[in-house]
Amino acid sequence: MASSESRALGFHLSIAVLACVPGLILVSDMLYSRLGPDPGEVVTKSLGMAAFQLLLATLCLTPLRKLTGWPGWLRVRRMLGLFSFCYAALHVLAFFQFIIGWQDLWSSFTRRPYIIFGLIAFVIMVPLAATSSKAMMRRLGKRWKVLHRGVYIVAVSAWVHFLWQARSDVGEMLAYGFLLLFLLVARVIWSSAFKRRFVSGVQ
């Protein structure tokens, strides 16, 4: 079915373009000097936020598939996850370059709680990104699924990483927190173990 295939390709491409938008905005702001007097800080923050938002978008795909029944959502999951990882990696580099200037690495990672949570999130992302290929999926078999549940730890750590930095107004991070909570609770409710225990298990 060529038409549905091309439709899937079109969807894939448009999601890819959307995922590029935060990066493109940054590049254009850079070229037009719209980043303000402390550009390093703006770049670091924007990259981190893009990584977090794309991670949440990735976590939305399974619930979207359940709700709409359309399997197409899952086809962009790996790509979105990898986009999130790319932004996170650039964010970490930007943090080293612009915020701490490659100094005091040890104390940054041992004494600043918000950085510790960011680090946890990123470190767990690395093996997930590395094992995202189809070949690795086949090789790891059942263990792949278990390993990739690590994404939930990534999401929660990343959220704490942001919340901890909110110095006085936590409104925005509470909103993200509710979204994340919804995405996690939905998975628990849809999980087969939960259904066995609480839905079909009730006689």
Partner 1 sequence: MIIKKRPAWSLPHSQVTPESVFLNRRRFMTGALAATAALALPGYGAAGSLPVPGEMLKYKKMPDWSTDEGLTPYEDATSYNNFYEFGTDKGDPKRYASALKTAPWTVTVEGECSKGGEYALEDILKPHDYQERIYRLRCVEAWSMVVPWIGVPLADLLTQFEPTPRARYVYFETLFEPEQMRGQRSAFSTIDWPYREGLRMDEAMNELSFMAVGLYGKTLPNQNGGPMRLVVPWKYGFKSIKSIVKIRFQETRPKTTWELIAPSEYGFYANVNPEVDHPRWSQKRERRLPSGLFSVNWMDTQKFNGYGDQVAQLYRGMDLKRFF
Enumerate binding residues for partner 1 (CB under 8 A): 30, 35-41, 43, 97-101, 103-104, 107-108, 111-114, 165-171, 174
Say how far apart CA 151 and CA 173 lie, in whole Å: 19
Cβ-based nearer residue to partner 1, 103 or 200: 103
Cβ-based nearer residue to partner 1, 130 or 166: 166
DSSP 71: T
Token duo for residue 143: 């263990």
Interacting residues of 68 by C-beta distance below 8 A, sequence separation 6+: none
Cβ-based nearer residue to partner 1, 39 or 72: 39
Q: Whose structure tokens read 């938008």? A: 21
Rounded to the nearest whole angstrom, what is the least distance from the CB of residue 178 to partner 1 in the complex?
12
Q: Judge contact between 27 and 47, C-beta under 8 A.
A: no
Say how far apart CA 61 and CA 68 lie, in whole Å: 10
Cβ-based nearer residue to partner 1, 110 or 191: 110
Rounded to the nearest whole angstrom, what is the least distance from the CB of residue 100 to partner 1 in the complex?
7
Rounded to the nearest whole angstrom, what is the least distance from the CB of residue 163 to partner 1 in the complex?
11
Q: Judge contact between 194 and 161, C-beta under 8 A.
A: no
Rounded to the nearest whole angstrom, what is the least distance from the CB of residue 181 to partner 1 in the complex?
16
Rounded to the nearest whole angstrom, what is the least distance from the CB of residue 95 to partner 1 in the complex?
12
> Left (φ > 0), alpha (ψ -120 to 50) or beta: where does 103 sit?
beta
Of 86, 101, 84, which is closest to residue 151 (Cα–Cα)?
Answer: 84
Cβ-based nearer residue to partner 1, 45 or 78: 45
Rounded to the nearest whole angstrom, what is the least distance from the CB of residue 179 to partner 1 in the complex?
15
Cβ-based nearer residue to partner 1, 37 or 71: 37
